């Protein structure tokens, strides 16, 4: 009977777990819809800003800017976007594994790199490995605004502008679909690889092209960071929704297995009791 009681307890606890994972799946699905819309709605703004930057930098002769020019690399910055919470499958581990592997292959000393982290998971991971974290931000909402990350974005770009970093790389999970997210590495600064998907347009500038670039290029780099965060948030909700669905399905499979085991054990116990009763009655005859 103790065995039957234990099986029944496991069935009840697994049912409660499945209710929790099912609820988390539904919550993530609702958040995913809003996060996906935010990420997609930001794309036209980014594309237009990119077109303007390219038009000014390539369409104006004799113009240059430090953010557009490569320089000797003495120190590299890595901006890594993770989540504050787990229960999202391999969402965090995939991007953290790639960053760690890249840093260990490229650098021999902590003096050669620095890490900027968005998300508690990434911050705790890098601190545990004693890696060089110089900036971090945690506690962002599930649907962050640019104001929420404007400070760390400005500081990240500022570290390149003042020469602390000679290049800055961005790592995050790119949202492909509800069941697919891709770990993405993007060279954020210098902006040597920026290109336009549209025809270069000639603009008239006031006050001047260099002055406009001085304002526009930092804003463009900061917008790239914000866009990657929106993309990562959509990926996070999708990964958590998928992980909770898998957890719910596994819980239901376990409940079916335990229920079958419980029924068999109960039938065996009943059969044993009947056999003992019959044996006792036969002994009295």
pLDDT tens for each residue of 67-94: 888 889 999 999 999 999 989 999 999 9
What pLDDT does 34 receive? 93
Q: Which of 60-64, 99-103, 109-113 has the highest mean pLDDT?
A: 99-103
Q: Output the average pLDDT for the chain.
A: 88
Q: Which CATH superfamily is domain 2-24+244-284 in?
A: ATP synthase, gamma subunit, helix hairpin domain (1.10.287.80)
Tell me how far apart the alpha carbons of residues 110 and 115 are, in angstroms, rounded to a whole number.
Answer: 10
pLDDT of 11 over the 80 cut = yes
Q: What three-state secondary structure class fits 195?
A: coil
Tell me how far apart the alpha carbons of residues 181 and 83 are, in angstroms, rounded to a whole number.
Answer: 14
Tell me how far apart the alpha carbons of residues 127 and 115 are, in angstroms, rounded to a whole number.
Answer: 10
Two structure tokens written together for 43: 């794309």
Kindly give, in sequence order, each residue whose CB lies less than 8 Å from that of residue 248, ignoring residues fewer than 6 positions away: 18, 21, 22, 25
Q: Which CATH superfamily is domain 29-242 in?
A: ATP synthase, F1 complex, gamma subunit (3.40.1380.10)
Indicate where the chain has its CATH 1.10.287.80 domain(s). Answer: 2-24+244-284
What pLDDT does 53 receive? 80
What pLDDT does 26 receive? 95
pTM to 2 decimal places: 0.86
């Amino acid at each position: 009977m103790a065995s039957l009681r234990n099986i029944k307890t496991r069935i009840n606890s697994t049912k409660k777990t499945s209710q929790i994972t099912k609820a988390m799946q539904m919550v993530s699905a609702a958040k995913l819809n809003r996060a996906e819309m935010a990420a997609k709605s930001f794309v036209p703004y980014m594309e237009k800003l990119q077109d303007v930057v390219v038009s000014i930098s390539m369409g104006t002769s004799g113009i240059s800017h430090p953010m557009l020019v490569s320089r000797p690399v003495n120190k590299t910055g890595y901006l890594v976007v993770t989540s504050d919470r787990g229960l999202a499958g391999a969402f965090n581990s995939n991007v953290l594994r790639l960053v760690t592997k890249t840093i260990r292959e490229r650098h021999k000393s902590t003096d050669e790199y620095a890490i900027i982290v968005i998300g508690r998971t990434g911050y705790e991971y890098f601190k545990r490995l004693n890696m060089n974290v110089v900036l971090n931000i945690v506690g962002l909402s599930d649907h962050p605004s640019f104001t929420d990350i404007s400070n760390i974005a400005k500081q990240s770009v500022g570290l390149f502008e003042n020469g602390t970093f000679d290049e800055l790389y961005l790592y995050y999970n790119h949202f492909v679909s509800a069941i697919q997210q891709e770990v993405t590495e993007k060279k954020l600064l210098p902006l040597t690889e920026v290109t336009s998907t549209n025809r270069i347009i000639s603009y008239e500038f006031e006050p001047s092209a260099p002055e406009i670039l001085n304002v526009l290029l930092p804003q463009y780099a900061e917008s790239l960071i914000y866009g990657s965060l929106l993309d990562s948030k959509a990926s996070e909700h999708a990964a958590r929704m998928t992980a909770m669905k898998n957890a719910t399905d596994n819980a239901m499979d376990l409940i079916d297995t335990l229920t079958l085991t419980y029924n068999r054990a109960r039938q065996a116990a009943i059969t044993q009791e009947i056999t003992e009763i019959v044996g006792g009655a036969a002994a009295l005859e």
